[in-house]
Amino acid sequence: MGKEKIELIKIDFKKENEVKSGVAKNGKQWKMYPVSIKSGDVWYSGSFFKEEEITKFRSLSVDKSIYLKVWDEEYNGKTYNKFKFLDKSDQLEIRIKRLEDFMNLVLEENQELKEKLNQNK
């Protein structure tokens, strides 16, 4: 399995495949929702077991971008691109990064303004 990374993925196409279901060894029934997203020339596949995950997938809009956790996985000699939604800590990490980027921009602009003011004195 390749290293997981967070990427901003533009959704060009999304597809829901046939739902799979069964009974676990402990007797509980389960459902798996296999899905795919195409971004550019790359297909990403995912499998959801929770109803809220498939609901979130269904709400995704084509031509929009979303942050996803992605990695590659080898199976029978072929490499597949996989994805899953971000958990709360991943979402927090992105928000912090965006805030840091914004603050750096504000600091740079502030420094430029100070320099211009000093030149005009």
Q: What is the pLDDT of residues 78-107, one digit of tens each?
A: 999 999 999 888 889 888 988 999 999 999
3-class secondary structure, 67:
strand
Question: With 90 as the cut, is the pLDDT of residue 15 above it?
Answer: yes
Q: Which of 41, 40, 44 minimizes the C-alpha distance to 15? A: 44
Which tokens is 73 given? Answer: 């996985």
- Give the residue extent of every domain in the chain: 1-86, 87-121
Task: Give the separation between CA 34 and CA 116, rounded to whole angstroms.
Answer: 57
3-state secondary structure string, 2-20? CCCEEEEEECCEEEECCCE
pLDDT at residue 62, as a whole number: 94
Compute the mean pLDDT over every residue in the chain, rounded to the nearest whole number.
Answer: 91
In CATH, the number for domain 1-86 is: 2.40.50
pLDDT at residue 120, as a whole number: 80
Q: Which positions ≥6 away from 10 have C-beta within 8 Å?
A: 39, 40, 63, 64, 65
pLDDT at residue 49, as a whole number: 85
Give residue 79's identity as a one-letter amino acid code: T
This prediction has a pTM of 0.72
Q: What is the pLDDT of residues 52-73, one digit of tens each?
A: 899 999 999 999 999 999 999 9
